[in-house]
Amino acid sequence: MAKFIKFFTALLLVFLLVNFLYLTLLPKIDWDFGKTREAYRFKNKQLKVLVFGNSMAMDGVNTEMLSGVFGPAYNFSVGGASLETNLIQLNEYLRNNAKPAKVLLMLGSAHTNYRNGNEVNPIIDYYYGDDFVVKNLKGIPLFKFRWLFIENFKKLLSANHRSAIVVNGQLRINSIVPDISSKKNKLDSCLQNDVYNAPGYSGMWSIIDVCKKAGITIEIFEMPCWKEVQNNCTDINISRKTGDSVYNLQINNLNNFNRCDTLLDPKKDWLSKNHLNYSGSSKVTREIIRMLANTISPVNPN
Amino acid sequence: MLFNSVSFLVFFPVVFILYWFATRGNLKWQNILLLAASYYFYACWDVRFLFLLVFSTGLDYYTGIKMDESENEGRRKFWFWLSVFINLSFLGVFKYYNFFITSFAEGLSNVGVNVNIWTINVILPVGISFYTFHGLSYVIDIYKKRIKAERNFIDYSLFVSFFPLLVAGPIERATHLLPQIKQNRKFDGDNAINGIELIIWGFFKKVVIADTMAIIVNKVYDQPSSYGATGLIIAAVAFSFQIYCDFSGYSDIAIGTSKLLGIDLIKNFNFPYLSRNIAEFWRRWHISLSTWFRDYLYIPLGGSKLSTLLSIRNVFIIFLVSGIWHGANWTFLIWGGIHALLFIPSFLIGSNRKYKEDIVHQKKLFPGIKDVLQIGVTFLFVTIAWVFFRSATVSEAVNFLGDIIQNSKGKNLAFENSEILTIIISFAVFFSISSYLLYRKNHLVHTTKFRQFAISLLLLILITLFGQFTKQSFIYFQF
């Protein structure tokens, strides 16, 4: 029995050690982990523009360009983030830092199934969730952050992934995957108000609520996607009554196929399905700046 | 209770600790504990069918003793046939009644006679095919005077219901398992370490390979007509790996679990996809079932010792029965028929007795070109037959195969880069360890302690990283 117990215990201990090493390594090698740790350490920061979203916004919004126009901006977006995740990030930032002038919430409704997804991104949960002991006991790191293994494994195979950098929270990868999908051109592909009232969007309404109460201007955008899921909507007006407040907002639709045709080159501006590369992100951010210029005073109009 | 469930992760360590520590090595208490654990394991699925299991056990126990006690051949025959009749009736009612009655009605309706049929609405008791075959082999062995009847009801019940093999085999024989149940068991450290390794290897095959393949297979088989040839070929090959890794993974977990309890179960798989012809495939695939049919059906029918025509008839009978054993559907019957047709040429030229050694054996470390070609052709035929096994209907299977040849326009399977990388890494490890096991005669225990440890650790890490934990049941539970 002693021999077996020795083998079994050693197996478990080394397995735990591997998990510990994985968790130690992740903030150093993984973009999502690294930037979340960076954001977690923000104290008394004076950012003017905060960008929230998932991986589409992490790749697709150039916060360096935004900073040049509107003042310090940071892209908080992380891969697979639900709107509930973005809400936690916003609240944590506001707790420890100065109020920003503007929050940009970048949705990816055509790519991400938000409808019932209120799960909190495990990385955000790790940094902002329970206390240290609980969070380390709650999930085996190799399991909890399992998707990051393949994401980081790609760096072994791809020079573009190895040379990628994170600037002001934006992930910049110089890879090109042409969009060879085709438009559906359906007239009914327009998103309706009721889509944005689905349970998975509750985080969005809470973000709106937090911003309104704190006096922060909020702008919401639908991120551009590949042709197969672009739509023919103009900007979308949404409304909801929450308690005593009635919120009427406009969602700026960057996923309109006419707008995408004008803005983006399908052969050069994509990094993977529905994810913009650096070139695409610069073009989209230029458009965002143009749209925002009407509602915010530029720090540097030139 | 599934092996790949959290409840089993709690259940088994509790049984293990009580078994080795609380019983203080007392065989009687160990067997009582294992029987109680086995009944609990079964009742977790559906407590109502536990009564069926207990009744079936009691029947075989009683008729076994009656056969043993009877001097008169007629009485022995009576008790034997009573047991066979009741066992097969249960199987027939729960598994085959609806199939035969609806097929009969459809047949009549094809010749213009419409009849109202009465079908029963009942779920198939999990493991019924397995425990019925346990019981049948026991009563046949007593009837043939190969063994004496077991007088201890607890021991006999444990032979039928031992939880690692209760719901999906391996189908054990009384001659192999009962003596182990009746013998004092001592904890053997090396054997237990080998058991842990087998469990981890089985889990890897199940949750990493089989359940990942299941995602591809289910997607295509849900709407096969919308996919083009490439998608259909990928799904067909994926199913070959899914069913192998699902079932052999289950068997490895069962064998490993038993080893931890000091009981050795028979080997159920021996690298079947490295077979050089169909006969070799059947010596390596679901060994406990194919040997069961050989010993209790094929040989009693006369085997190959009769005229060529009758021998061919016997081959067809065992393959068709093997097909229908898997489920009440024409697809299984045709699957069995295809294997019979593939087997008969090698049977007629006598090559069915070739290749009894492993492809990589002591004098040969790598397969030759001829071996590789033979393996490829056998795998191709086996994969084609699996299309019938997996399809919901015969026409769906025929269309599936037809579309592979004719339909190049349907949609393709789309994979994300991450999915492709996951599959490549998983299969690279699967093939590497399979080759290593083959080279080491299927036992990690024959290698150094460091390698044993490293392989187990690697598999554990990959299970955590790539395993699909979606409560996907084992395919063979439905049989």
Q: How far is CA B259 from the centre of its chain?
A: 18
- pLDDT tens for residues B337-351? 999 999 998 888 877
Confidence grade of residue B59 (pLDDT, cut at 50, 70, 90): very high
Distance from C-alpha of B321 to C-alpha of B86, rounded to nearest angstrom: 18
Q: For chain B, what is the mean pLDDT?
A: 87
Q: What is the average per-residue pLDDT within B278-288?
A: 92
Average pLDDT value for residue range B140-144 = 93
Residue A132: per-residue pLDDT: 59
CB A7 within 8 A of CB B187: no
Distance from CA of A4 to the nearest CA of B (A): 5
* Interface contact B464-A150, CB threshold 8 A: no
- Residue A301: predicted pLDDT: 35
- Asked if A18 and B418 come within 8 Å (Cβ–Cβ), the reply is no
The closest alpha carbon to A121, from A36, A34, A247, belongs to A36
Give the mean model confidence (pLDDT) for residues B211-215: 91
Whole-number pLDDT of residue B447 = 64
Mean pLDDT confidence for A129-143: 71
Q: Flag if B418 and A2 touch (Cβ within 8 Å).
A: no
Chain B residues touching A149 at Cβ < 8 A: 465
Using the beta-carbon criterion (under 8 Å), do B416 and A273 form an inter-chain contact? yes
Nearest to A1 among B189, B417, B418 (CB): B189
Positive or negative, the CA dihedral B198, B201, B207, B213 is negative
Under an 8 Å CB criterion, which residues of A touch B? 1-4, 7-8, 10-11, 14-15, 18, 140, 142-143, 146-147, 149-151, 153-154, 157, 272-273
Percent of chain B's residues with pLDDT above 90: 52
DSSP per-residue string spanning B399-412: HHHHHHHH--SSBP
Q: Which of B343, B333, B336, B353 is nearest to B378 (CA)?
A: B343
Contact check, Cβ <8 Å, B417/A154: yes
pLDDT (average), residues B382-396: 94
Is the pLDDT score of B329 beyond 80?
A: yes
CB B440 within 8 A of CB B362: no
Best of B201, B456, B464 to disrupt the A interface (most A CBs within 10 Å) is B464
Render the burial of B55-65: b for 16+ CB within 10 Å, e for the rest.
ebbebbbebbb
Query: Which CA distances in Å does B422 have to A161, B238, B415, B430?
Result: 17, 14, 11, 12
Distance CA A28, CA A140 (A): 19
Q: In B, which residues are within 8 Å of A273 by CB distance?
A: 416
Least Cα distance to A193 among A145, A236, A255 occurs for: A236
Residue B208 Cα to chain centre, angstroms: 19
Q: Quick check: A76 pLDDT over 70?
A: yes
d(CA B128, CA B90) in angstroms, rounded, equals 9
Distance CA B12, CA B18 (A): 10
Token code pair at residue B115? 């009849």
Contact A4 B192 (CB under 8 A): yes
Phi, psi torsion values for A260, nearest 5 degrees: -65, -40
Distance from CA of B222 to the nearest CA of A (A): 22
Distance of alpha carbon A3 from alpha carbon A134, whole angstroms: 33
pLDDT of residue A298: 43
Who wins on pLDDT, A128 or B471?
A: A128
pLDDT of residue A296: 47
Interface A–B counts its CB contacts (< 8 A) at 53
Among A1, A4, A11, select the one facing B453 at the smallest CB separation.
A11
Residue B457: which of A11, A143, A151 has the nearest Cβ? A11
Q: Is A59 exposed, middle or buried (0-12, 13-18, 19+ CB in 10 A)?
A: buried
pLDDT value at position A163? Answer: 86
Residue A60 has pLDDT above 90, yes or no: yes
In the structure, what pLDDT confidence band is assigned to residue B157 with cuts at 50, 70 and 90? very high
Q: What single string gives the DSSP state of each residue in B243-276?
A: HHHHHHHHHHHHHHHHHHTT-PPPP--S-GGG-S
Predicted TM-score (pTM) of this structure: 0.84
Residues B35, B51: Cα–Cα separation, whole Å: 14
Query: What tens digit of pLDDT does each residue of A266-297 get?
Result: 999 998 889 999 999 999 999 999 988 876 44
One-letter amino acid for residue B93 of the chain: V
Q: Which helix (H) or strand (E) holds A219?
A: strand A217-222
Rounded CA separation A19/A149 (Å): 12
List CB contacts (< 8 A) between A14 and chain B.
453, 457
Active site residues of B: 326
How many CB atoms within 10 Å of residue A48? 19
Cβ within 8 Å, pair A154-B456: no
Instruction: Report DSSP state, residue A53.
Output: -
Closest CA to A234 of A197, A190, A274: A190
Alpha helices in chain A (DSSP H): 2-29, 31-40, 55-60, 63-70, 83-96, 122-128, 132-138, 141-144, 146-157, 159-162, 202-214, 257-263, 278-292
| Predicted local confidence at residue B203, as pLDDT | 92
At B87, list the tokens: 């066992």
CA distance B230 to B162: 44
Domains of chain A as residue ranges with CATH? 28-292 (3.40.50)
CA B129 to chain CA centroid, nearest Å: 10
Q: Tell me: the pLDDT tens digits for A180-197?
A: 888 775 545 566 667 788
**Separation between Cα atoms, residue A211 and residue A91, nearest integer Å:** 10
Pairing between strand A275-276 and A270-272?
antiparallel
pLDDT at A302: 35
| Distance in angstroms (rounded) separating the CA atoms of residues A241 and A247 | 6
pLDDT digits (tens, 9 = 90+) for A200-225: 888 999 999 999 999 999 999 999 99
Provide the edge-to-edge strand list for the sheet that holds A73-75.
A73-75, A49-52, A102-107, A217-222, A245-253, A236-242
Is residue A83 within 8 Å of residue A119, measured between CB atoms?
no
| pLDDT(B5) > 90 | no
* pLDDT the model gives residue B422: 87
- Mutating which of A8, A11, A26 best tests the B interface, going by the most B Cβ atoms within 10 A? A11
Pick A118 or B181 by higher pLDDT.
Answer: B181
Q: Tell me the pLDDT band of A236, cut-offs 50, 70 and 90.
A: confident
pLDDT at A130 over 80: no
Token code pair at residue B139: 């009563």
